[in-house]
Structure 1
Amino acid sequence: MDKPVCFIDTDSAGKLCVQQSALQILEQIQQPVVVVAVVGLYRTGKSYLMNRLAGKQTGFALGSTIESKTKGIWMWCVSHPTNAGTTLVLLDTEGLGDVDKGDPKHDTNIFSLAVLLSSTLVYNSRGTIDNKAVMDLQYVTELSECIKVKSSDEDADDSSEFVKFFPSFIWAVRDFTLELKIDGKDVTEDEYLEFALKLKPGTSRSVMEYNFPRECIQKFFPSRKCFTFPFPTTPENMSRLGSLDSADISSEFFKVTDHFCQFVSHDSCVKRLKDGHTVTGRVLGHLAKTYVDTISSGAVPCLENAVIAMAMIENEAAVKEGLQVYQSGMEKLKGSFPLELKDVSSKHQHLSSMATQAFMKRSFRDTDGKYLKSLEEKIIQLFEEYLYQNEQASKKRCEEILSSLSAPMIKNLKKGFYAKRGGYDLFRKNVEDIVKKYNSQANKEIKAEEILEEFLKQKSVDSNAILQTDKKLTEKEKKIKEEKEKAALLKQEIKAKEEKQRQLEQKMEAERQSNEERMRQMKDKMDEEMKLQREEAERAMDRKLREQADLLQKSFKEKADVMRQEIEELKRQNAESNRAREFAVILEDSVRRHEEEVAMMMQQQRREQMMARQQMAIQLIHVRSSDECCIS
């Protein structure tokens, strides 16, 4: 994109809506995206920073008056400066706190969308990070009411899970004039931010109000970074910052800006969904549409619902993509029909594997294999159709060969050439010559035996008529030749059936191998998704551990205990994921052992029954012997 476009705007009714032109741009981006969104009070210079991230002097509109220039959310997609194969998506949001807005929830919705869509969130403010600046970031405290992780319990507070998917957080302090010192000691920008977010001990109402926004920032954004920007130029030049020459801008401001851009380029991660699935431009567009439609309907955006919706959209598209790969390849092969079955089957297996690969690349959360099975069924259906078309092409070629070879004989038949003494032997000799030449020319055709069988059956009528009128042969000779011809027809019929059975087995073997390949790829896909989930859980756990250590260091034991409980829950969820796989293996071994035990038990029972029968037989002999003795 050579310039930004409006991404999310408000319609005539004042409701948020996604611009179709922006969705069309994102639809074309199949690469992973790094999404950087900037938020902050209006007229704080957000757009200038985003232009610099894009490597441009101008692009996003820079306001020169007290009015907010950016409305809604604007988007600029550029090539990532350091990560090849990745797109950098910059989102410049409408300034917060504009008095001209009618809807009091509008700012909160814009802030929530920036959090939901970005992988790095830049909060832009002016002056210092004092209590007022923290309080101006009130939207953080409202996130637990504006975003849900799970849909199962609408009243449950699941904000503890925000850490799994929330973006990294950068606080950009503009026009900073203070010295970076605390208690007379030099500190870094990050230490300055952490000092500003430090909690006060106590439980009074004023302390709780002071701590609450800081707790939210620490809890929701454990990955935090701070940059302090000096004044870029003289006050009279501030209104035209975007058009100033480099000589008119402070070198220190340039230095901090370059450091900021380098940090964002190197440390901003690719956007991922809740379960760790990589977000492409296309998926980002679907996400934005889902979230905005949910907000416009008056509901709360839910990550679980969004992932489910994305999975359905992407999996359906993945099925179409896989089919397109298979069909386009088979259509090219179709131009060479007729072919041997092994050639068609081999191409089918190769394209089926490629189709599955294309499906796997795009699909996610197809846990029950519903969409993969749909792809499999559609491919099998197409394979059957291509086999039929190949058979028809083979049938046509075989018929053409026979037609060409038998043309002289047909001509002689019409002329009555064989209606004479010895005509039958002459006719059979011609038929045998045709069969020999036909087998030579059509030996690789899949319909060769079947079409030859039909041909011989048709000619047997002519053969029988010629046989009956051939005065050279005796009735006994005619009977013998008739039986020989019937045997030859039966032999060809058996040969045709055997060939058909062989082709069926070959086709089934091709399907078996294709199915094995699909299952292998499905297993690899599931292993990859489980790996992403484990990594997500480990990242969340690492953040919680760091936060817990920080709280312990600051002597907030009570909050650290709550954090410990959240860590234990994350460990439990991660362990359950591992145990699920272990249980599957254990279950498989258990079933196998159970089957072996049942087989052994049945074998033992059979031995016991045999021994019982033997004992009964012995007893019966004894009884009979006793009876005989008694009679004597």
Structure 2
Amino acid sequence: MASAIQMPAPVCLIENSPRKGLVVQQEALQVLSEISQPVVVVGIAGLYRTGKSYLMNRLAGQRKGFSMGSSVQAHTKGIWMWCVPHPCRPGHTLVLLDSEGLGDVKKGDTKNDTWIFVLTVLLSSTLIYNSKGSIDQQALEQLYYVMRLTERIKVKAAPEESEDGLEEAGQLVPFFPTFVWAVRDFTLQLEKDGKEISEDEYLEDALELEPGDSPETQRCNQPRECILRSFPHRKCFIFDQPASRSELVRLEELQDDELNQDFQQQVEKFCRHIWEKSPPKSIPHGRILTGNLLGKLAETYVEAIESGSVPCLESAVLALAEMENAAAVKEAVTLYQNLMKQRAKLPTETVEELLELHRQCDQEALELFHKRAFEEGMCHFQAELTRQVEEVKEKFCRGNEEASRAKCEDALRELFQDMKRCLSDGVYSVAGGSELFQRDLQVLVKNYQEVPGKGVKAAAVLEKFFKEIKSLADVILIVDQSLKEKEEELKRQKEDHERAEQEWKKKMKIHIAVSIGISVLSIAVPPVRALKFFRLPL
């Protein structure tokens, strides 16, 4: 989500120290790192003690903020920064850069001062050049002098040289800001040939090339050609003196009714134009910078300057692109992970279901990457994004399998509890126990298949379960067979016993019958002596 920031006062962005040189301040970088909104960067440059800080305070909507000073000594050191919500562009941050004034005669070494101007130009989306008096040849030459400082930078790492050995100046234009010339304490009449002209017409008339090709004319036209070539988008504002000389020392304390009314109206018109017309800061290919990227760009330029090398704009963009593309990969991978976590209800029923979800989340991550990434080096970083997303996808696939495996194992463990109790109670340790075990196992499988949301490992976990209980089933079968054999043996023994008993009973019956027959016969047929006794006839 885009973030705005409120700063109660300016902070130093780039310190200009005689001992340390140019140093980007971490406090300012921290402020910029928290701004994910597009930034409109308005920088101001010009000779020292020309009232630059006053205009910047008014652009911030304040009377105080940037240090103004009231003496002839240069006051602002380095580049100071003030970030405020943009008054006319919702979702944008206005970054104001107040640079150290040029031309301080008290300074012996002005090398860093020139770099301050170059950095202000390179970091701004609108550059305000602040001068006093009028736009005459002297003013043009003063601006031309500072513009010549841009020769200290180059566009390409291996530039194509023109016939005179210099890079085409037009190559710098995509890196340069729009240009506003603010002429302070203007006392002339805006007229030409007796006709009133506008401020912009006044500027364009001052920049008009003198005809002829004499050396003197060429020297006269040089500043004009440089300004016209460097700043194709130009605007001019003139300002009356704001107050009497005695009151200028407390200018920031003066109320509106104490200011020159024309000056007050001119300031309001100036601020309204800057707020409404200044574009967001961008680099070639139309890439709009956020505060975070602006801070990185400042670091890149200062590092090049302090290393003693000539700052290369193309290299700076490439370095910025590499940092931002790496961040874009990280953000896209994070988005992919979060989307998968939110949408993937593991375990999924099929692998195809998870892969379809992966395709959707991957597409959204890729769209985010393209939205944020720089074109420079994009293919390489997109390949890295694909690699990292693939790694995350594989983790989700493994997680999907683990979730499925865990759910299926829990389900089987729960369903097996009744059979486990039967095992403990010896229910299956009987003849026919194997058939009973297999029947209960079939019921378990049926109930397992009805469990919802088992996922992709349902069959594999069931197969593993069967393998794990195979030895148990084999033992139950062996016990079952042993008990059946014993029962058969007992049955045979019983049948043999019953047959023997029947035989014995049969023999006993015969024996008894014979014994009874003999007994009856002995009674029915008397012995011979008896016959003799009774003298019965034979």
Q: Indicate which of 438, 447, 450 corresponds to 1:440.
A: 450
Relative distance call for 1:223 and 1:333 in structure 2 (3 A) is closer
Distance 1:258 1:43 in 2: 21
> Which whole-Å deviations, capped at 9, do the CAs of 1:535-557 have from their partners, x for residues lacking one?
xxxxxxxxxxxxxxxxxxxxxxx
The answer to whether the 8 A contact 1:50-1:60 is kept is yes
SS at match of 2:308: coil
1:53 Cα deviation (Å)? Answer: 0.9
Q: How does 1:600-619 map to 2 (within 5 A)?
A: none
Deviation track 1:56-102 (CA, whole Å, cap 9, x = no partner) reads 11111111101111111111111111111111111111011011223
In structure 1, the gaps of 5 or more residues are: 476-632
Give, as a single letter, the amino acid of the residue that structure 2 aligns with 1:210. C
Counterpart of 1:40? 46
Match of 2:285 in 1: 275
**Could you say what secondary structure the match of 2:282 adopts?**
coil
- The Cα offsets for residues 351-394 of structure 1, whole Å up to 9 and x where unpaired, read as 33332233222211155522122122212211221222232222
Letter of the structure 2 residue corresponding to residue 451 of structure 1: V
Change (3 A) 1:44 1:443: closer
Asked whether the 8 Å contact 1:274–1:303 carries over to 2, the reply is no
For residues 61 and 452 of structure 2, the distance between their equivalents in structure 1, rounded to whole angstroms, comes to 67
Change (3 A) 1:12 1:69: closer
CA-to-partner distance for each residue in 1:386-423, whole Å, 9 max, x for gaps?
A: 22223222212211221222223234335543343222
Q: Distance in 2 between matches of 1:372 and 1:198?
A: 49
Question: Equivalent residue for 2:512?
Answer: none
1:369 maps to 379
- CA 202–14 in structure 1, closer or farther in 2 if over 3 Å, else same: farther
- Residues 219-278 of structure 1: CA deviation (Å, up to 9, x unaligned): 111211111111111111111111112221011111111111111111111111022111
Separation in 2, partners of 1:166, 1:59: 27
Question: What is the identity, as a one-letter code, of the residue corresponding to 1:311?
Answer: A
Return the alpha-carbon distance in structure 2 between the equivalents of residues 448 and 368 of structure 1. 42
Specify which of 388, 394, 402 is matched with residue 392 of structure 1.
402
**CA deviation vs aligned residue, 1:93-125 (integer Å, no higher than 9, x gap):** 101101122323233212211111111111111
The answer to whether 1:21 aligns with 2:21 is no
2:503 paired residue number: none
Q: 2:247 aligns with which of 232, 237, 257?
A: 237
Deviations 1:534-587 (A, max 9, x none): xxxxxxxxxxxxxxxxxxxxxxxxxxxxxxxxxxxxxxxxxxxxxxxxxxxxxx
State the SS of the aligned residue for 1:137. Answer: helix
CA-CA distance at 1:337 after TM superposition: 4.0
Instruction: Give the structure with higher Rg (CA).
Output: 2
Q: Find out whether 1:466 has 2:476 as its counterpart.
A: yes
Deviates more, 1:297-306 or 1:69-78: 297-306
Amino acid at match of 2:8: D
Corresponding residue of 2:75: 69
SS at match of 1:78: strand
Do structure 1's residue 207 and structure 2's residue 217 form an aligned pair?
Answer: yes
SS at match of 2:236: strand
Q: For residue 328 of structure 1, report the CA deviation from its aligned partner.
A: 3.1
Distance 1:60 1:144 in 2: 26
Secondary structure of residue in 2 paired with 1:369: helix
Q: Give the AA of the match of 2:231.
A: F
Aligned AA for 1:431? L
> How far did residue 178 of structure 1 move?
0.9
The AA in structure 1 aligned to 2:224 is R
Q: Secondary structure at the match of 1:9?
A: strand
Q: SS of 2:333's equivalent? A: helix
RMSD (Å) for aligned C-alpha atoms: 2.3
Runs of 4+ in 1 over 6 A off after TM superposition: 472-475
Q: CA 1:140 to 1:42, structure 2 compared with 1: closer, same or farther past 3 Å?
A: closer
Q: Within the alignment, does 1:101 sit opposite 2:111 as a pair?
A: no
Moved more, 145-154 or 15-24: 145-154
Q: 2:467 aligns with which of 457, 472, 482?
A: 457
- Contact kept, 8 Å, 1:422 with 1:472, in 2: the verdict is no
Query: Residue 38 of structure 2 contacts residue 92 of structure 2 at CA under 8 Å; is this kept in 1?
Result: yes
One-letter amino acid of the counterpart of residue 71, structure 1: K
Change (3 A) 1:172 1:458: same
Distance 1:370 1:362 in 2: 15
Report matched runs for 1:382-421 at 5 Å. 382-421=392-431
- Which deviates further from its counterpart, 312-321 or 441-450? 441-450
Q: Deviations over 1:583-613 (max 9, x none)?
A: xxxxxxxxxxxxxxxxxxxxxxxxxxxxxxx
State how far apart, in whole Å, the 1-side matches of 2:20 and 2:156 are.
Answer: 28
Q: Tell whether 2:130 aligns with 1:119.
A: no
The TM-score normalised by the length of structure 2 is 0.83
Structure 1 residue 332 displacement after superposition: 4.9
Kindly report which structure 2 residues correspond to 1:136-285, keeping only aligned pairs within 5 A, or say none.
Answer: 136-153=142-159, 156-285=166-295
Which of 130, 134, 143 aligns to 1:128? It is 134
Per the alignment, in what secondary structure is the counterpart of residue 470 of structure 1? helix
Would the alpha carbon gap of residues 11 and 230 (structure 1) be closer, same or farther in structure 2, given more than 3 Å must change? Answer: closer
Indicate the structure with greater helix content. 1
Alpha-carbon shift at residue 279 of structure 1 (Å) = 1.1
Question: Larger deviation: 450-459 or 30-39?
Answer: 450-459
Aligned-partner Cα distance in 1 for 2:377–2:324? 14
Deviations 1:491-512 (A, max 9, x none): xxxxxxxxxxxxxxxxxxxxxx
Question: Quick check: 2:408–2:454 contact (8 Å CA) kept in 1?
Answer: no
Q: Which residue of 1 aligns with 2:349?
A: 340
Shift of 1:343: 5.7
